Amino acid sequence: MEVTAQDLTHLSFAQKQRLSYIDFKLLFVGTVSRSEIVQHFELGLSAATRDINLYKALAANNIQYDPALKKYFITTQFSPLFEHDTRKTLVKLAHQISDGFDAINDTPFPVEAPNQLNVPDLFVVARLSQAIINQKPVNLIYTSLSSGSGAREFIPHSIIDNGLRWHVRGFDRKSQSFRDFVLTRISRVTVKYEQEVQPQERQQEDHQWTRIMPLQLVPHPKNIHFPTAIEMDFGMQNGVLELNVRAAMAGYLLRRWNVDCTEDASLISPEYQLYLRNRQTLYGAENLTLAPGYKASNE
């Protein structure tokens, strides 16, 4: 039976949760049973049976019952009834985080992630979030590598994960410029609800943030003997991975993935598997000291 979006719109939120749980269990475990539904949602057997029957009505080709094992199994014709985003699902599995539409915490899934070495203070993050949503300035104490600890008046507009650590970006009244501050170096935040943000301090005036840069990443022409492996790693099309990134984020991405940004692909080391084919796109971007090997053409 073909499933359409209309088939799901009439369902309640709770029904969607239970059907998504069944869908998730079939897809990632391969089986689901009524007793698991009963235990997870604290239902009666008859209610769990109704959910199974509803799932079968919506996606009959996804599920088959084994009376000997008293379990429902995934079929070879399985097509997910719900969307399970790969990246989000891997993050949830690795960190055992459930959104209520999955079977995480029910099953020990074989997915691991590296330990997080720096974890920001929850209340720092919360107050910055309040300031961003309400468009208010904050007073904060920031400790930098160059000048130590000091008070700042700051207008945050975005919280950013650069792959290694968390930053907050916004307008710094001390330097009169848009800056990135590392969250773990912020020790105190006070939201100034009585103050207003000035026009030049708003996100739309952060030109490094609003500027979108097209990056063309290709297998490194000198370090890679079998470029097809790299093309598969990064889902390249015709040997190129095309990305659109904010200018303010380009340096972080290029450093994280060790992308050779030299003019002649001269970084000869196995760690450099990618090369930036259109390095001219970086002109005028900040944080290019982070881009491996990058030097402006006039340097």
Phi, psi for residue 72 in degrees, rounded to 5: -100, 135
Q: How far apart are CA 30 and CA 234, in angstroms?
A: 28
Look up residue 258 and give its two tokens.
């060790």
* Structural domains of the chain ordered from first start: 9-95 (1.10.10.10), 122-206 (2.30.30), 211-290 (no CATH)
Model pLDDT for residues 271-294, shown as the tens digit of each residue? 999 999 999 999 999 889 999 999
Model pLDDT for residues 47-89, shown as the tens digit of each residue? 999 999 999 999 999 999 999 999 999 999 999 999 888 889 8
Compute the half-sphere exposure of residue 29: CA atoms within 13 Å on the CB side of its CA.
Answer: 23
Model pLDDT for residues 185-205, shown as the tens digit of each residue? 999 999 999 999 999 999 999
Q: How far apart are CA 188 and CA 152, in angstroms?
A: 10
pLDDT > 70? residue 207: yes
How large is the average pLDDT for residues 209-232? 96
pLDDT of residue 222: 95
What's the whole-model pTM score? 0.81
